[in-house]
Structure 1
């Protein structure tokens, strides 16, 4: 979905779902049918979507031009468009490798470049660039000097690989690293330090605004620090985290958000972290807490719990309020059933910020 910024530039809004990744091309097409139903409910001509393709499927598509051509035709036939692909998660269950490589391992490089090659064939005719998202280098625990050295070599190969993709296709793909608590890229200071050694032309950050809230740093201050260091916000995912001002008084309500098998990390302003909400409810670190559990933008949790709405709204105001948009890509993720209402709510807020409705947006340049 294309929106026009007051500068005349286009900002792309893409929708993703919580569905499990498609394991083969027919399953991808089924997902596209679900997105088309959302487009119909919203009554828009074109809906931007962000797909997550697991590594085995990405590797197959990257070498099969006919399958990419078919997939592009299926996307266009449903009134959808793709300018970003998600490479932040990894495989989920089944016969996929359960190990999640970080950016010190070649497997992460191969996966990301596969996605970049696929994306150049899936983008609309008038699009000259796109983006792939990925993890914030890797978990901070165990990230030693050897991993840092290996990562530096692999990230240099990533830049070279992206340059090669652009040379062969005439389309640029940038990679956005997603900061989050517990990863090498977490707080703004760590991001700025890491990018002092990285290619800032092709690499940037992909901010999840719920993850940003869980760092307890002010969104405007973070965005200003990144801008001052010349670090591009390639994509911003609009999301709210769960917040408990008084965790002890909110314990019963918080237990309703515990989901076995789906860890929901908890942070507080002092920098304490719990790997999962269930763990935090056993140990009760000092409050307040923020929980990495995405809350629907249009439906706040029942009191005494709240959502980090002020964080994502402040970030969007800052990203859209300048002479030029602070990011080219926005994304929102929701369940397929609730997507229409959530996107409609978000579109209303973006309209208040001066972003034109899709029918008024010009083609991307």
Structure 2
């Protein structure tokens, strides 16, 4: 079941979440002509904690979702809270996986998802951050994060003993983090976690930014004995000649203050250069090779030249996964609608519906 991620909506309390589902998710479902629409819920830590402590509130949420024709098989537990603050930037990586609050939040999400899963869901998935931003991080942090994942695994095993459907945690590599690339995540996870319960969230915007080959990436994950638990269907910005004046002008329109927009440059030698945000890239990268920018752009909307979208990476990754067997959960994640340049914005319900329509046609999910 194809879903869209509700981290595009800012509400951080249950009544607000339901109101935003009425305002956006229900109209999206109606525009698509579907009896049931998948939503990948983002629950900020406060609301997740309240739901986990209150079985009646979970039953209410499940009933409210069903009444609206909405189904939840996946949660996005990457942002802890404040995801629509005026400035988010590096704070989205806090608390880290060495902080007990991250573990508590994740376990709360396990409790909530177990009571929301529809009966026909093969499993539930929860995506989470790739440990932390890369600095500071030491071998002692590795140990503490590993202990936290052991506790998550213990809880996931016990949840399966109480419910018929397994729930799996999906680690989402992101540029600039401890697990910057999928290769980093595979190297860290393999042999350290139980692959029955912990795998990867393949965000195809992040994958594109790293200039990784999608088919080889999927093959390498499987060869390591790991699995893709969830795909976040997303696209990055690509610019072939970033030093051209028209390219610089086009990129400056995407240099907004709320989110971090990591940039990678592929040199003719094959070396990949990095900048932690778009304004820094415009000042420091040599612009001798193409750039990829971590800015989630709507899947169906081709950026104006000279910018391009990396939807080919998305379709390539999903094609490689489909060749291995049934697709994992696929969640369209474009949280950047409100920070797009004015020329790229669209009424939100219409835009989400158009993205899901594109995804349904292009990736057959």
TM-score, with length taken from structure 2: 0.88
Could you list the structure 1 runs, at least 4 aligned residues long, displaced by more than 4 angstroms after superposition: none
Alpha-carbon contact 2:6-2:42 (below 8 Å) kept: no
Q: Which residue of 2 aligns with 1:42?
A: 32
Distance 2:152 2:297 in 1: 34
Q: Which residue of 2 aligns with 1:86?
A: 76
Q: What are the ranges of 5 or more consecutive residues in structure 1 without an aligned counterpart?
A: 1-11, 356-365
Is 1:331 the counterpart of 2:362 in the alignment? no
TM-score, with length taken from structure 1: 0.88
Is 1:206 the counterpart of 2:201 in the alignment? yes
Alpha-carbon contact 1:215-1:267 (below 8 Å) kept: yes
Q: Tell me how far 1:245 sits from its aligned partner.
A: 1.1
Deviation larger for 184-193 or 288-297: 184-193
Alpha-carbon contact 2:265-2:291 (below 8 Å) kept: yes
Is 1:24 the counterpart of 2:19 in the alignment? no
Deviations 1:305-332 (A, max 9, x none): 111122111111111134x22x320011
Distance 2:101 2:54 in 1: 19
Q: Residue 134 of structure 2 aligns to a residue in which SS?
A: coil
TM-align CA RMSD = 1.8
Q: Which residue of 2 aligns with 1:156?
A: 150
Alpha-carbon contact 2:234-2:296 (below 8 Å) kept: yes
Q: Residue 142 of structure 2 aligns to a residue in which SS?
A: helix
Q: Which residue of 1 aligns with 2:277?
A: 276
Q: Which residue of 2 aligns with 1:257?
A: 254
Deviation larger for 211-220 or 307-316: 307-316
Deviations 1:42-68 (A, max 9, x none): 001110001111111111110111111
Q: Residue 200 of structure 2 aligns to a residue in which SS?
A: strand
Q: Residue 113 of structure 1 aligns to a residue in which SS?
A: helix
Distance 1:319 1:15 in 2: 19
Alpha-carbon contact 1:185-1:191 (below 8 Å) kept: yes
Q: Which residue of 1 aligns with 2:54?
A: 64
Q: Tell me how far 1:128 sits from its aligned partner.
A: 5.1
Distance 1:15 1:228 in 2: 29
Alpha-carbon contact 1:248-1:284 (below 8 Å) kept: no
Distance 2:37 2:204 in 1: 22
Is 1:245 the counterpart of 2:240 in the alignment? yes
Q: Which residue of 2 aligns with 1:290?
A: 292
Distance 2:10 2:110 in 1: 18
1:342 to 329, 335, 355: 355
Q: Tell me how far 1:192 sits from its aligned partner.
A: 2.3
Q: Which residue of 2 aligns with 1:14?
A: 3
Q: What are the ranges of 5 or more consecutive residues in structure 2 without an aligned counterpart?
A: 338-347
Which one has the bigger strand percentage? 1
Which one has the bigger helix percentage? 2
